[in-house]
A and B are shown apart, each in its own frame.
Chain A
Amino acid sequence: MRLTDLPLRQPAYVDMIDWNALSATDGQRLREFGLIEGADVEALHHGGLLGRGPIACKIGRMTIAMRRAHAAAISVRIGDRDERA
C-alpha cells in the first residue's frame, strides 16, 4: 500500500521507497528526516480541499509534511515492524 492510501492514525512501517521517483535532494531530505525502509510511520493529516494537499505524517517523535507525489513513492505495510519476525 502507498503512504497516500494509508488510513489516518493507522500505525505502519515503511516497506520500500522508490528513490528513483524522487529528486536527489528530496530523497536526501527524506532520509535525513528518518524516512527510510523499516521506519515506523503514521499518517496524521491530509491537507487541502479535495484531497490534493500535502500529507503530514509522524516518523518517530517528529512530524513532517510532504506532497502527495512524494508520499506515493513510499510503500508501507500496516502493523508494527517488530512483530513481523
Chain B
Amino acid sequence: MSAFPLVALVGNPNAGKSALFNALTGARQKLGNYPGVTVERKAGRLSLSDGRPVELVDLPGTYSLDPTSPDEQVTRDVVLGKQSGERLPDALVVVIDASNLDNHLRFALELLSLGLPTVVALNMVDLASRDGLELDPAVLSRELGVPVVPTVAVRKRGLDDLRGQIETLLNPAPARAKALPGDFNAVRAEAKRIAKAAVVRETPSRRLTAAVDRIALHPVFGLFMLLGLLFIMFQAVYAWSEAPIAMIEGLAGTLSGAVTDALPDGLLRSFLVDGVINGVGSVVVFLPQILILFFFILMLEATGYMVRAAFLMDGLMARVGLSGRAFIPLLSSFACAVPGIMATRTIADSKDRLTTILIAPLMTCSARLPVYAVIIGAFIPARDVGLGVGLQGLVLFCLYVAGIVGAMLVALVLRMTVTKGASGSFLMEMPKYQWPRPRDVLLGLWQRAVIFLKRAGTIIFASTVILWLMLSFPKAPENSAVSQVNYSVAGRIANGLNVVLEPIGFNRDISLALIPAMAAREVAVSALATVYSLDADEDEAKLERSLGDRLKDNWPLPTALAFLAWFVFAPQCISTIAVTKRETNGWRWPLFMVGYLFALAYAAAGLTYWTATAAGL
C-alpha cells in the first residue's frame, strides 16, 4: 500500500499498545480491516526526527504466537509475514507492562526469536513504581540484547526516546535473532530469570487494588455495588440531562419558528419544519442522555471495573451456559450492539460466541433510549417514589432489566437447542484499578457524539425525508373527509400493516413509525414526530405542543406500554443485522436472529397490552 517503512506494535493485551499508538500517531489514524477476516486493522503515521514518515500498526494483543482467536491469528501472521494484505514489518515495538514482567517477557522472548529489528517499550513504569517496583532498563536491555525504553504511554513519557530508537532500527543494521531456549517452560524460566535480574527494588504488590477488590469482588457487597452503580447510571440519564435537553428543544423551537416566519406556507416549509427540524430534531434531543450513558460505560472500562463486573456476573452467566467473558460485550451493547458484537471476538469457543452475538441485540442499546425516553416522558408521571428515586428512572431501569432477563432466558434456550455444546469458560486477567484520564474520557465522548450526529444527519435524516415524502403524497383532495396521513402512500401501507399489529394494541401511527424504524430504532421517534406534525397542520395551536403531549392525547396507556415492550425486543436495526452477517459468515444467523426477535417482540407487546387492558389501565 504505502512505501513507508512498516513498524508494528505488539505485546500482551493491556500492555498499553493502543495508548502508545495514540500517543505516537496523534490524530493521524486509519481504521480498516484485514482481508477475509473480520479483524480491525489500525494504522497511523509517525514522523521520525528527520521528518521521514513511518507507518505504525497496532496489532491485536495476544499472550503468545499460538493463536486461540481470529484476532490473535492476525498478530501471529503479521509478525511472521504471512498475513495477506500486510507486509512483513520492518521493525517491531514490543510493548511490555513493567509491573507484570515475568509474563510479558515470556512473549517478548518469543517475539525476539523472530529476528526482526526490535525495540522494547517498558510501559506503565508509573504503575510499577506506584506498586513499589523499581526496574533497571539497562539490565533488561543487556539481557534481551535489544534497546529498552521506559515509557508512560498515557503521560507521553519516553516517546521521543522511543521514536529515536525506532529511527535507529530502520537504518539498515544486521538483525540478530535471540535463540529461544527450548520448550515453553524453559522460555518461562528464562523470562523469570531476566525479570528478577532487572528488579532494583520490590515491595509486595497491588496493595490499592487488593484493598478495593475486597469489597468490589465480595459476593454480597460487590453485587450490591454493581447494582447500585447501574442504578445510579440510569437515574443520572434523566437527572443530568434535563437542562441540556431543554436547551436543544429551545433551539429547535426557535429554528422552526424562524423558518415558519420566513417561508410561505407550502411544500418547502412543510419539508423543513415537519421533516427536517421536527423529525431529525426529535432524535438529536437525546444526545445528552446518550452521552451520559456512554460516560458511565467509558468510566467502567477505563477504571478496570468492567472485568470485576464480569467476575461478579460469571455465576449467572455460567448458569445460562455462557462465558463470563460474554458479560463485557453484552455490557457494551448497552451503548450499541455493533461494537458489542465485534467485541465477542475475544470469546474463544464458537458456540459460546454465537450465543452471545444472538442475544446482544436484547441489551438495551442507546438507540432505544429516545424511544423509551419519549414514551416514559409522556406517560409515566415524574413522581418521587421515595428516597429520592424518580419513578421515570425506575421504569427505565426496569426496561433494561427486562432486556437482560430476556437475554438470559434466550441464552438458556439457545444453549439447549441450536447452540448446544461444551459449557463456557472464564479465564481472564484482572487489570489494576486506575483513575481514567479526563482527556481520554472526553475524547471517547466526543467520538460518540460525532458518530451519533452523523447518524442523525444521514440514516435518520434520509429515513425521515423518505417518510415525509410518502406521507405527503399523494395529496388528499381539498375538503376530503380522509386525512392527509390516511390518504398518503405511507398511510395506506400502515393501514395494511395495522391489521397484523392491531391485536397487540398498536394504532396506525405506530405501524407507520415501525417501517422506517427498520433503518435505525430511534427513527421511530422522528417518524412519530413527523406524523403528528403533519396531522397538526390545520391547527396552528397544536403545532406548538411537544411530541410527548401529542402522544398522550392520541394513545391509551396500554398501547404506550405495549410499545415499550415491543422495543425491549425490537429487532429492527440494519447495522446490527449487517454486522451479525459479517461476524457469522452468512445469512443464516442474522435471519434467525431477526425471526426470533420479531416473535418475542410481538408476544411481549401483546401480553403487555392484554394484561394492561384487563387491569383497567
Contacts and interface: CB of A to CB of B under 8 A. Distances in A.
Given A34-B103, A49-B220, A64-B430, A25 B348 contact: yes
B425 A70 contact: yes
A63 interface: yes
B213 A47 contact: no
Contacts of A54: 311, 314-315, 324, 426
Interface residues of B, number: 45
Contacts of B427: 26, 29-30, 33, 64-67, 70
A26 B206 CA distance: 26
A38 B154 CA distance: 35
Contacts of A58: 206
A47 B315 contact: yes
B185 A65 contact: no
B209 to A, nearest CB: 8
A22 to B, nearest CB: 9
B527 interface: no
Contacts of A51: 219
Contacts of B318: 52, 67
Contact of A29 (B63, B206, B209, B210): B63
Given A53-B311, A67-B318, A61 B185 contact: no
A78 interface: no
Interface string A19-38: 00001011011111110100
B100 interface: yes
A85 interface: no
In the complex, which of the residues A32, A46, A51 has the most CB atoms of chain B within 10 Å of its own CB atom?
A: A32
Contacts of A52: 315, 318
Nearest to A47: B311
Interface in B287-301: none
Contacts of A32: 63-64, 103, 106-107
A69 to B, nearest CB: 8
Contacts of A34: 102-103, 106, 188
B430 A65 contact: yes
A30 B188 CA distance: 13
A81 interface: no
A67 B206 contact: no
A25 B349 CA distance: 9
B376 to A, nearest CB: 32
A76 B324 CA distance: 25
Interface residues of A, number: 33
B598 to A, nearest CB: 35
Nearest to B348: A25
A71 to B, nearest CB: 11
A44 interface: yes
B219 A48 contact: yes
A56 B217 contact: yes
Nearest to B189: A38
Nearest to B99: A61
Contact of A45 (B102, B106, B217, B349): B217
B220 to A, nearest CB: 7
Given A28-B68, A47-B219, A67-B314, A61 B425 contact: no
B105 to A, nearest CB: 11
A31 B184 contact: yes
A66 B102 contact: no
Nearest to B423: A69
Given A47-B312, A56-B213, A33 B206 contact: no
Contacts of A63: 206, 209, 213, 429-430
Given A49-B315, A60-B100, A26 B425 contact: yes
B205 interface: yes
B428 A65 contact: yes
B66 interface: yes
Contacts of A23: 422, 425
Contacts of A60: 100, 102-103
Interface in B317-363: 318, 324, 348-349
Given A45-B311, A65-B427, 19 more contacts: A23-B425, A26-B427, A28-B68, A29-B427, A32-B103, A32-B107, A34-B188, A36-B185, A44-B213, A44-B217, A47-B219, A47-B315, A48-B312, A49-B220, A53-B312, A61-B100, A61-B102, A63-B213, A64-B429
21 contacts: A25-B68, A25-B348, A28-B68, A30-B427, A32-B64, A32-B106, A32-B107, A33-B63, A47-B314, A49-B315, A54-B324, A60-B103, A61-B101, A61-B102, A61-B131, A65-B310, A65-B324, A65-B427, A65-B430, A66-B427, A67-B318
